[in-house]
Structure 1
Amino acid sequence: MTDQDTRAQLSATVAEAALGVPGVAFLRPGLAGLLRTAGRSGPAGVRIGRAGGADSHDSWTAEVFVVLRRGHRAVDVTRAVRAAVLRAVTDPAAVTVGVVAAVTVGVTVTGFA
């Protein structure tokens, strides 16, 4: 599996996991994502990259940009999104995304709907 294939599968898995969390209205890219949308593949609101460092061959970072439903506490939803994403990308029974040693997940609330 190529690096690009793994990135695309991780993006789709992360987006699906985040959207399944109660309190998430939808995903929305940050400003940098909006500026890069034209040449970008994968779901909006998810940015996947390689983790830095010498041991990063199978380590990834996932940034998720969410819009929350009103009436939900941001801290509770962001924690739930992070947990759901980690479960989805590390559970071999859930989705096969190739060899992924570690994923660091960041969640940013970009608004309320």
Structure 2
Amino acid sequence: MDLLRAGVFMIGVALLIVAALGVAVYLEARWRNPPDVGFYAQCVDRYVVVHASRDLAGVKVTTPEGGILCVFDSVKAGSDALCPVGNGTVYVVAVGDVARVVQCSRPPMPATAD
């Protein structure tokens, strides 16, 4: 009888370990592959470039304070939209309820001749 109890206990422990491993694999895969929001934004030479991986509507590029710089009614899947932004360092790209922050670095200072 004791051998039967030990076997059932070991099976229970094994099932708990398998369940914990399954949850860990799920969470790791979710972290590495976040849900697709449909766009990617980056800053290149004083322009915010918005690349759409699906059709987007109502794309806004704003300053952190809320000043609107550009509004795009629609951006087709696979295409890009450009927004001139000037010399600021941080901008917000929003599509619906999803917002992404874009950081623009200032151009390097010219080297001085010695």
| TM-score by shorter chain over 0.5 | no
Q: With the length of structure 2 as denominator, give the TM-score of the two structures.
A: 0.23
Higher RCO, 1 vs 2 (CA within 8 Å, ≥6 residues apart): 1
Choose between structure 1 and 2: higher helix proportion. 1
Query: If you compute each CA radius of gyration, which structure gives the higher value, 1 or 2?
Result: 2
Choose between structure 1 and 2: higher strand proportion. 2
